[in-house]
A and B are shown apart, each in its own frame.
Chain A
Amino acid sequence: GAGVSQSPSNKVTEKGKDVELRCDPISGHTALYWYRQSLGQGLEFLIYFQGNSAPDKSGLPSDRFSAERTGGSVSTLTIQRTQQEDSAVYLCASSLGGQRGAGELFFGEGSRLTVL
């Protein structure tokens, strides 16, 4: 597709359940990011992947959060044993990457997670 695609767009789950959020980046983009945005707040960095390098997981809030990127393309963010404070919009973004560091990010529309 032309842009970053995220699914599902909305997810309502019960406390304690596991959820998976998917991100399809723009074809050819080597860098992929996950951010979390709570209501009315800024973006909280979670993790990014750059090419074949080890991902930067420094923003993951707990060991209940994990992410993988298969074949350098699609990424899945998994939240285990969800808690109510995990309720937020999870935004994925991709960029061209390269040696010069972070440039323009292209964002998906986000996955809104509600934990009851």
Chain B
Amino acid sequence: SQQGEEDPQALSIQEGENATMNCSYKTSINNLQWYRQNSGRGLVHLILIRSNEREKHSGRLRVTLDTSKKSSSLLITASRAADTASYFCATVSGAGSYQLTFGKGTKLSVIP
């Protein structure tokens, strides 16, 4: 079953603009992770945010977590054509749990 649901399903922006993707989930979590998948490739881990954290940064990426709303957002600033990919959130429900549950992803297209 899907725990995380990304929104929007697809997003098209111009190079240089910011891209924001959202993830909502249903049950309490231990941590939430964001992954990127280029077409036809495996997934690449971007960032992990724990339930007691509210914001994390990594380069041009900014992730926020609101546990009261059971939602997270991924912001990519100053987007590049190379950022074109699908982005997935994944949740880990309990402390010590090893099961990651992925959403269906947001397909981002960055137009040069």
Residues of A within 8 A of B (CB): 4, 31, 33, 35, 41-43, 45, 48, 50, 56, 91, 93, 97, 99-110
Most buried by A among B41, B42, B92: B42
Contact (Cβ within 8 A) A48 B99: yes
Name the residue on A nearest B88 (C-beta): A42
Contact (Cβ within 8 A) B42 A45: no
- Residues of chain B with a CB closer than 8 A to A42's CB: 2, 88, 102-105
- Residues of chain B with a CB closer than 8 A to A106's CB: 45
Contact (Cβ within 8 A) B104 A41: yes
Contact (Cβ within 8 A) B43 A105: yes
Let me know if B78 is at the binding interface, CB within 8 A.
Answer: no
One of B48, B101, B103 near A45 (C-beta < 8 A): B101
- Residues of chain A with a CB closer than 8 A to B35's CB: 105, 107
The verdict on A103 contacting B48 (CB below 8 Å), with A41-B104, A42-B102, A50-B98 known, is yes
Name the residue on A nearest B89 (C-beta): A42
Contact (Cβ within 8 A) B45 A101: no
Least CB distance from A85 to B in Å reads: 18
- Residues of chain B with a CB closer than 8 A to A91's CB: 42-43
> Could you list 5 A-B pairs, sorted by A, with CB under 8 Å?
A4-B42, A35-B102, A101-B94, A104-B48, A107-B35
A42 to B37, CA, bound (A): 11
